[in-house]
Amino acid sequence: MLVNKICDHLTEMVTSGELSNDNLVQIIEHIGGYLNLKTISAYSKENKISYNGAKNFRVIKPIFGVKFVIDNE
C-alpha cells in the first residue's frame, strides 16, 4: 500500500538523520494545508458558525489528542 511505503520512507529518513524535527514540522504543515486542517474552535470562528455546528456537521479527526476539522472538499 502506498501510504505504508511513504511511512517507511519517512522512518528511514528520520532514523538516518536526513530529516530533522524542523523538516517534520514542515511536512505536517504542508499536509495540513491539503486537508485544510483546523481546530474546531479556529474553524468555527473562521467560518462564523458555532462550535457545536462545526463539531456536529463537519469531519472531525483526533490527531495527537486534539480534535481537528478536515474540510478539503
Please report, for the chain, the start and end positions of each structural domain, with discontinuous segments joined by +: 1-35, 36-73
51 contact partners, CB below 8 Å, separation of at least 6: 40, 41, 44
Residues belonging to the chain: 73
Dist CA 52 CA 71 (whole Å): 16
Query: Which of 16, 26, 47 has the alpha carbon at shortest distance from 39?
Result: 47
C-alpha cell at 48: 462564523
Provide the pLDDT for residue 65. 97
pLDDT grade for 16, boundaries at 50, 70 and 90: very high
pLDDT grade for 73, boundaries at 50, 70 and 90: confident
In whole numbers, what is the pLDDT of the chain averaged over residues?
96
| 53-69 mean pLDDT | 96
